[in-house]
Chains A and B, each alone.
Chain A
């Protein structure tokens, strides 16, 4: 299978505040195929998150074109973007962004509610995902009762529960120690193996090893794209 998942052409993002104008992205053009696992690397402030947010349809670019699954979406309104987003994209953030007031089960269920799924269907899906992520026993816990690694596991579960085509992860291991980081990376790799496209921002060379391709950003521009071959072996760790 070698369809194009997404494609950007001369993507530019400029942030204007009262005093300063920051060019966060400058003529970024690249393309990602379905089923790829891509890592985005670069120094702090180079525009990684900005790029990921535009890819994830959380934000619009200031210029350039963006094709998501063949559709030009760069001028879409938030409403239209939200619609595409909830059907196709799962998100994992560095700081997990779980909703503190909802328990594990309810957090994972949330995307399905927004998709308008029936409650029996939701129950099936959430339980399958809890099973898959091996967090069934924590379903009643609240985020603050969990360790960082466990929280990120829940966040990953929430990202995949709706079976998205694309998962975007912004420094998913940034707040985790290496053992827990490893776990999360393994989860992502597993998902990629079962066909999900993954784009991940990371600072860690070790994490980047999991990907097939690394895109390097510097000052809002792509400085080099290297395609890697061979993946590390997947080791399944229990939490």
Chain B
């Protein structure tokens, strides 16, 4: 009963003070909406691979290597025999799984359907059990055991055969070889670190001459997963691994000088693998980004609550009288606390409903930005419990302080013409304003810095010019027609240059040793690049010493090498005169390739990674395709049309597939851009919420000072000096917020920039801009409100009291 009486009076008081109700509702609901979005995002990021039922007991083997020229590196690829030996050695290893992307399959064909597939993998039969793959058609037993057997997804089945039924037991041509489809699996989720729609039996390659390395301990190409009886056994296995490595690997004399291994829990793969190279994963997240977003979402929610608290405190001058009178009439403190909590409960409830409504509207937008498919699912009990929890927490956080603050008053002090606008409360609301603006300034500063970094990356001389270029993938043996292709493409004047190469960045992605033909047979671990004589020219890579490849010199094919500067530096050479390797790239030691040239270091990967030593060989068999440079004048569509038609003429059996350089580059920095964009939204939101609070606070302050302002005006004070009085107090606060925010956000930004090997410095200019922006926006907010009041007729104000 009392509750309804209270609710009655608080609702009526809210409706009467519409501005504050609106500010509170708008602020809270926007804060809650933002919070919910981030919660969905974080939940999404944290729930990768959750579909894998035995995920808790699955581990990925990670190697720690120490390579001359590279240093320490963690890699997620391992040797062929590792899985088998681990299983034989450790009884707690229940099952093992090896997977490897099937990059060398250039064409998949059925009837007249000819495509290049990108999510194809070799896998051991254990994959179905270990990764919880459901078979929708076909006998689920003994899959992928036979050589040249396949399991494909429903989508792939429909794409090639029209239906799963037709696909079952049919043949697909992979690189023109027939493979039998043993079963159809359900389409796999992309909410996973790994994704595949065509699985090829590992036995298709194991034991073949081309994959002979799989029987040895010298090269790493496969990802090895282990299923343990119990996840606690991982620690014991790890303890025994050094001995295992000594017994099984070092004893084989495969050139290992240093090697360690550990088991990475499956649940850590998606979020906690930033330190690991050669991951072969479909998607990788970042635990730190996730935690940053979690913190930011909490802060935004807090800003919204702070608005509520601040406005309640400012309103308290008015409400104190009610509180006092109720106390005179015998109300006890707790019942008054209930009164204010119930008020915030009602407001928060409305705000949550509004937030949910807002989300329904903006979710499609957010999904397209984040590439997700979030929905508000009210059937999920957890979601509803979450909302309920949010309701309770927010109402308590925003309602408690005003409740206890107001109910504390002795009836007597309140009746004496209102409370003497308690100094303590204004200290509190000032600190709250400082807190809000500190967050906003911190966010603005962070955005400016992230922006600088992105611009720096985009502008930085990478040592290679990616603009107006694209890469086309060869099929098997297509390299033989490289010259014909070059000729026919260059007929078009818009095509500037064509070159056979490993990839658009000139390197193949794999890492391996070169040995110098010196007394110590010095080893250097390098990135291999296989390019022709036109590549460096095509991509504007500068040759700083020696000569380029020359096809007219017979020896150049495989018999010579060009190094990058880093390699030369690591080797400690002052020049390359007379320098030789002791074997070719494929280990043929009958030939000692001459070091014929040095190119300037360029970034073949993102600026996040350092430029490792690289060695370039002229080996046409190893060209994975061609890099093409075209004229900026010609439209991309025209270029593609032309190239595609020529391609189809020359390579009717190779699916046409292109990668444009700008796309390749932007993919590399996509996650940065995503973070930057999200930050922009957060900053705008937090700035908006802070100003909303400031606006409300100013209105209330002015309401309380209406009389003072009226008297000042009556006595002849100018509008501007009155406004200035009101404004300067807040400007000082915003300035103070800047002083607090900057050191904290510098710390944060340093950590963000630490990710980059090449990065901008903290800029003083950005600090000033961030603070000025906050000050300006605050200034406009306060002046907007204060100006209106100060301009009004002084008589109005005097009458008002």
Docked complex Cα distance between A101 and B1 (Å): 16
Docked complex Cα distance between A106 and B329 (Å): 13
Docked complex Cα distance between A119 and B410 (Å): 28
Contact at A101–B322, with CB atoms within 8 Å?
yes
Docked complex Cα distance between A70 and B168 (Å): 101
Contact at B13–A100, with CB atoms within 8 Å?
yes
A163 to chain B, nearest CB (A): 14
Docked complex Cα distance between A153 and B69 (Å): 95
**Within 8 Å of chain A (Cβ to Cβ): is B331?**
yes
Contact code string A103-118 (vs B, CB < 8 Å = 1, else 0): 0001001110111000
B336 to chain A, nearest CB (A): 11
Tell me which of B13, B329, B412, B416 contacts A110 (CB under 8 A). B329
Nearest B residue to A85, CB-CB = B330
Contact at A59–B415, with CB atoms within 8 Å?
no
Docked complex Cα distance between A186 and B321 (Å): 27
Please, which residues of chain A bring their CB within 8 A of the CB of B331?
A: 82, 114
Tell me which of B322, B330, B332, B415 contacts A99 (CB under 8 A). B322
Contact at A102–B330, with CB atoms within 8 Å?
no
With known contacts A58-B415, A110-B5, A113-B1, A79–B13 Cβ distance under 8 A: no
Docked complex Cα distance between A115 and B410 (Å): 19
**Within 8 Å of chain A (Cβ to Cβ): is B180?**
no
Docked complex Cα distance between A110 and B322 (Å): 12
**Within 8 Å of chain B (Cβ to Cβ): is A175?**
no
Please, which residues of chain B bring their CB within 8 A of the CB of A97?
A: 321, 324-325, 328, 415
Nearest A residue to B414, CB-CB = A97
A116 to chain B, nearest CB (A): 9
Please, which residues of chain B bring their CB within 8 A of the CB of A113?
A: 1-2, 5
Docked complex Cα distance between A119 and B321 (Å): 26
Contact code string A144-168 (vs B, CB < 8 Å = 1, else 0): 0000000000000010000000000
Contact at B412–A59, with CB atoms within 8 Å?
yes
Docked complex Cα distance between A13 and B332 (Å): 25
**Within 8 Å of chain B (Cβ to Cβ): is A33?**
no
B322 to chain A, nearest CB (A): 5
**Within 8 Å of chain A (Cβ to Cβ): is B9?**
yes
Main secondary structure of the interface of A (DSSP, over half): helix
Please, which residues of chain A bring their CB within 8 A of the CB of B511?
A: none
Docked complex Cα distance between A82 and B327 (Å): 7
Contact at A58–B412, with CB atoms within 8 Å?
yes
Contact at A102–B332, with CB atoms within 8 Å?
no
Please, which residues of chain A bring their CB within 8 A of the CB of B329?
A: 86, 91, 110-111, 114, 158
Contact at A83–B330, with CB atoms within 8 Å?
yes
Contact code string A58-98 (vs B, CB < 8 Å = 1, else 0): 11000000000000000000110011011000010101011
**Within 8 Å of chain B (Cβ to Cβ): is A23?**
no
**Within 8 Å of chain B (Cβ to Cβ): is A192?**
no
**Within 8 Å of chain B (Cβ to Cβ): is A53?**
yes
Tell me which of A58, A101, A111 contacts B9 (CB under 8 A). A101
**Within 8 Å of chain A (Cβ to Cβ): is B12?**
yes
Nearest A residue to B327, CB-CB = A82
Docked complex Cα distance between A32 and B12 (Å): 41
Main secondary structure of the interface of B (DSSP, over half): helix
Docked complex Cα distance between A37 and B266 (Å): 86
Contact at B10–A101, with CB atoms within 8 Å?
yes
**Within 8 Å of chain A (Cβ to Cβ): is B16?**
yes
With known contacts A85-B330, A119-B1, A78–B10 Cβ distance under 8 A: no
Interface residues in A176-211 (C-beta closer than 8 Å to B): none
Nearest A residue to B322, CB-CB = A99
Please, which residues of chain A bring their CB within 8 A of the CB of B326?
A: 99, 110, 114
With known contacts A99-B325, A101-B8, A111–B412 Cβ distance under 8 A: no
Please, which residues of chain A bring their CB within 8 A of the CB of B80?
A: none
Nearest B residue to A155, CB-CB = B325
Report which residue of B1, B9, B332, B411 has the largest number of chain A beta carbons within 10 angstroms of its beta carbon: B411
Contact at A53–B330, with CB atoms within 8 Å?
no
With known contacts A59-B412, A82-B327, A99-B322, A106–B5 Cβ distance under 8 A: yes
Contact at A82–B325, with CB atoms within 8 Å?
no
Tell me which of B1, B2, B412 contacts A53 (CB under 8 A). B412
Residues of A in contact (CB 8 Å), total 28
Report which residue of B5, B325, B329, B417 has the largest number of chain A beta carbons within 10 angstroms of its beta carbon: B329
Docked complex Cα distance between A106 and B322 (Å): 13
Please, which residues of chain A bring their CB within 8 A of the CB of B12?
A: 101-102
Contact at A58–B325, with CB atoms within 8 Å?
no
Tell me which of B10, B332, B415 contacts A82 (CB under 8 A). B332
Please, which residues of chain A bring their CB within 8 A of the CB of B1?
A: 113, 119
Contact at B410–A114, with CB atoms within 8 Å?
no
Nearest B residue to A159, CB-CB = B329
A198 to chain B, nearest CB (A): 17
A129 to chain B, nearest CB (A): 14
B421 to chain A, nearest CB (A): 15
Tell me which of B8, B13, B327, B410 contacts A106 (CB under 8 A). B8
Docked complex Cα distance between A78 and B16 (Å): 32
Contact at B322–A58, with CB atoms within 8 Å?
no
Contact at A86–B330, with CB atoms within 8 Å?
yes
Report which residue of B1, B327, B415 has the largest number of chain A beta carbons within 10 angstroms of its beta carbon: B415
Docked complex Cα distance between A98 and B329 (Å): 11
Tell me which of A49, A53, A78, A101 contacts B13 (CB under 8 A). A101
Docked complex Cα distance between A102 and B417 (Å): 20
B497 to chain A, nearest CB (A): 80
B240 to chain A, nearest CB (A): 69
Please, which residues of chain B bring their CB within 8 A of the CB of A53?
A: 412, 415
Nearest B residue to A98, CB-CB = B325
Closest CB pairs A-B (n = 8): A86-B330, A114-B330, A101-B12, A101-B9, A58-B412, A101-B13, A59-B412, A97-B325
The chain A residues found within 8 Å of chain B, CB to CB, are 49, 53, 58-59, 78-79, 82-83, 85-86, 91, 93, 95, 97-102, 106, 109-111, 113-115, 119, 158
Other than the given A100-B322, A102-B8, A111-B330, 13 more pairs (CB < 8 A) read A53-B415, A58-B328, A59-B410, A82-B331, A82-B332, A83-B330, A86-B329, A101-B12, A101-B13, A101-B322, A102-B12, A114-B326, A119-B1
What are 13 pairs between A and B in contact, CB < 8 Å? Answer: A82-B330, A82-B331, A82-B332, A85-B328, A85-B330, A97-B321, A101-B10, A101-B13, A101-B16, A106-B5, A106-B9, A114-B330, A158-B329
